[in-house]
Chains A and B, each alone.
Chain A
């Protein structure tokens, strides 16, 4: 028992010293070994490394792609002197940690500010050459690409690579906003009026077409009907003609009798008759027929 504790103590102390003299560098990190605040070694490969305990200290830098995205839009003027606020994000990575450390030390804020300023200045340049229209839709890619290239050149001085610069938002100022809204309203009004007018025109066409169809239908029907009636009249006339034509004299007599019968049939019909008429010949003389 009296041996156990010291042994354990030795083991623990040994482990402690070991932990001070070895360190691991992660895949995600650069490590710089400092001796009295002077960079001695730059370790860009991950692994297990030795340092002199207590004399040397290790600082780590991020190797991964980092993002600058503060949601603070920059005020920028376009070529038509319109003020917009452009918000962008920057993807960057430390590639040369020695250079990076010399330039900004351990304060990442400095690097971020520098990149941000570079990018915003570039955006100002690019926007200043273009219209709002181009910046928003037409030339957006081109703007971002050029800004990235220039920013990358500048950033390489501090050991940083700019992977990407992307415009997120392009906002209009409040004063322009009002006029944009007004324009939008007038556009909508134009659209609405056009739609309604189109509707009215189309309806009118449909109605007119319907009226035309009605007229044509009725006229055609009238035409057909008259033809039919004519046919009927014609056929009737032919029938009458052939029959009556055979007995014209008798027809006249027969038809006349019919007509008299039809004409004088009511008590209100007053006849003033001359007794010399054929009908009364026997009234005066019973032998009239044998003359």
Chain B
């Protein structure tokens, strides 16, 4: 027990205790224990008795002062009278109890966050501590951190032996180990590795709290945090591959989507082109028809007024145009003699590939299509046989 002897003289600025008051209260309390004030011994010699009284007085004052103690904001003090629990002082500030051997105090830090780790490498524990079996009989390494505070100084001090002789914590750590293993033992490995971490931490916290309440430990678990979950080293590669496979699946799906996103819009584009072209064709055809017919109608209107003349004019104009722009051979069939037409020569000179077979000289004109003829030879141009 540390004796929090206050140093006299301005220890605190917020109202230092009235010392006289304290001593007076102390003597009152003492009188309760010793049944009234002690009778002052009759002075044998003024110097001797005065010295004795002074010494006894000083000793008494010092003894009384040893009952002064300060409770911090974060602390509670447990007061025992002759070993029996009396009360817990929760208010911070300067307090006094009847000094030892009548009353004792034990000051306990309540709100300080204490923490411990399970299965963390590099601490005193081995890596074995982190190994756990899951419900589907997979091994897994789980590391967790536990943070806790005290919620009852009395329970904490009196109900459990917190430390074993070698100074190990015997309350929270064993509870943490058994709780996490029970929770993990009921879960599937994938759940522990992936989505279940928060839930497992929460269940572990609840189970730990239940156990500690059962032991009346006066401890409240503030937080359980699963800091790391790993498959064991020997199988990490295959677990990593399984994780990669999940990515691969996503990748393949994305590639499929990419293909679809490429193909479908293109098809839609092509479809739109087809429709537009069709629409264009339709309008073109109709417009052409309208144009053609308008032209025809105009001519036909004139034709009805003077059919014969218009006919002849049109015919002659057309023939004129044709004969102007083509090569002609005029053959009078009544001549009787065989006419030699050097068609092959003509064709050779024009470099045509295939002459169209000469049609029957019909009343009209028989076309012979050849390649472009050389029009610069007038003597071969037009001959008139008789």
Contacts and interface: CB of A to CB of B under 8 A. Distances in A.
A217 B271 contact: yes
B272 A228 contact: no
A244 B319 CA distance: 23
Contacts of A210: 256, 259-260, 263-264
B252 A254 contact: no
B67 interface: no
Interface string A255-278: 001001101111111111111111
Contact of A137 (B55, B135, B157): B135
B174 interface: yes
A70 to B, nearest CB: 9
A10 to B, nearest CB: 11
Contacts of A232: 281-286
B164 A217 contact: no
Contacts of A276: 332-333, 363
A266 B375 CA distance: 10
Interface string B282-302: 111110111011001101100
Nearest to A237: B289
Interface residues of A, number: 116
A220 B211 CA distance: 72
B270 interface: yes
Contact of A254 (B232, B263, B296): B296
B182 interface: yes
Contacts of A274: 330-333, 361, 363
A221 B272 contact: yes
Nearest to B190: A191
For chain A, what secondary structure do more than half of its interface residues adopt (helix, strand, loop), or is it mixed? helix
Contacts of B72: none
B241 A268 contact: no
A220 B178 CA distance: 68
Interface in B241-276: 241-242, 244-246, 248-253, 255-257, 259-260, 263-264, 266-268, 270-272, 274-275
A106 interface: no
B367 A136 contact: no
Given A166-B178, A269-B367, A1 B47 contact: yes
B256 A202 contact: yes
A171 interface: yes
Interface string A169-196: 1111000010011011101110111011
Interface in B119-165: 128, 131-133, 135, 137-139, 157-161, 164
Given A66-B170, A228-B275, 16 more contacts: A65-B216, A140-B186, A199-B248, A217-B264, A226-B278, A229-B285, A231-B282, A232-B285, A254-B314, A266-B326, A268-B370, A272-B341, A274-B330, A275-B384, A277-B363, A278-B315
Shortest 8 CB-CB distances between A and B: which pairs?
A: A232-B282, A199-B249, A221-B271, A203-B256, A225-B278, A210-B260, A206-B256, A199-B252
